[in-house]
Amino acid sequence: MFEQTLPRTLDPRRLAEQAVTLEGTLPLSGFLRLREYLVKEAILSRKIKGTLSFSFGVGGVILVNGRIEAQLPLQCQRCLDTMDYDASVDLLLGLVRTKNVQLMTGYEPYQMEDDRLCIQDLIEGELILHLPLVARHSEQDCHLGGSGMELPQNEAEKVKRTKKHPFEALNALKADKTLGED
Ligand SMILES: [Zn+2]
């Protein structure tokens, strides 16, 4: 299938005038801020997919409707292996130059520095915002298995020994009782 590369920066006003919808990808390796959160060795040739429609809203505000999709390699905080996180973010943005612009309900303001819109920055910011607080495999996929309580051998031994104590105490109690019954 033909896959277009998205432009890194564009003129959103011109695209809004023509009611353009852009669809394409950007290489994940180019997202330097986002890469800080990812398993570096797993980034390789992965791509971020984006669909962005440009139009005008009330008062001539440029609106961006769209969707970003990416499979991001995160480190599972339980087993420390790589897990693929399917990120998908719906965009409903109004491009503004100052913070105090009233937007239509449901639209978030996105502040632009000048007339050019850096698509890469926009996508990167949205993906970082939507990363999970704690990355974890689902229980059946995690290499630590269902419990998530597996411990190194020594630790496990220690726990086993500690766990024995209540029973020993109980046995001692039983023994006392038997003696008493005599
Ligand atoms: Zn895991």
Confidence (pLDDT) at 146: 56
Contact 64, 118 (CB under 8 A): no
Q: Where are the alpha helices (DSSP H) in the chain?
A: 12-17, 32-35, 119-129, 153-181
pTM > 0.85: yes or no: no
Taking the centre of ligand 1 as the mean of its atom positions, its distance from the CA of residue 154, in whole angstroms, is: 22
Taking the centre of ligand 1 as the mean of its atom positions, its distance from the CA of residue 136, in whole angstroms, is: 6
Give residue-wise pLDDT tens across range 106-160: 999 999 988 999 999 999 999 999 999 999 999 889 988 655 455 454 544 444 4
The dihedral sign for the CA sequence 90, 92, 97, 100: negative
**What is the arithmetic mean of pLDDT over 162-179?**
53
What is the three-state SS of 13-63?
HHHHHCCCEEEEEEEHHHCHHHHCCCCHHHCCCCEEEEEEEEEECHHHCEE
Token representation of residue 40: 């570096």
Taking the centre of ligand 1 as the mean of its atom positions, its distance from the CA of residue 32, in whole angstroms, is: 25
Taking the centre of ligand 1 as the mean of its atom positions, its distance from the CA of residue 85, in whole angstroms, is: 12
Give residue-wise pLDDT tens across range 49-98: 999 999 999 889 999 999 999 999 999 999 999 999 999 999 999 999 88
How far apart (Å, rounded) are the C-alpha atoms in residues 129 and 32? 15
